[in-house]
Amino acid sequence: MNNRLNSYEWFIDGFTKYNPSLDVITHIKPLLQKLSIQLVIDPNCDDVQNLVPKLIKTLYVCDIVSFSTFYTNKEELPIDINDQIMGIEKVPTIIFKKNKKEQFRITEQLLHSSTIETELEWLFSQL
């Protein structure tokens, strides 16, 4: 796991308490393992504190331990990071790529589901 995130109490608490649906995990795990993941976060943002521990717990359960995390201050948005991530206007922004091409992203909050794993399942169904 991300050592810097582990230094935040909100992260440890959210990660520990979240239990993703194993039925959905079975479906999304092989799909997630084919993607690279980039997170853009501001640790002081409420949306980050709510969503990111759940996302990382879901990734962990899917055996995904490698992803890129970029830290920013949401007051400095919009930003581009390393000329790789374009159009970051809100945090968290979670970008999922395959062969360096963006497949989809989650920005600030879930739009289609009540849990991160079902949101990912819905997003995969749209590909």
pLDDT tens digit sequence for 46-105:
999 999 999 999 999 999 988 999 888 888 777 766 666 577 889 999 999 999 899 999
Split into its structural domains, the chain has a count of 1
Quote the pLDDT of residue 33.
94
What the block records as the tokens of 87 is 């159009």
Domain of 111 in residue numbering reads as 5-125
Q: Which segments of 1-127 does DSSP mark as H helices, in order?
A: 9-17, 22-32, 46-61, 116-125
**Residue 117, domain CATH:** 3.40.30.10
pTM confidence score: 0.91
CB 83 within 8 A of CB 70: no
% of the chain beyond a pLDDT of 90: 77
61 burial level (CB within 10 Å; 0-12, 13-18, 19+) = middle
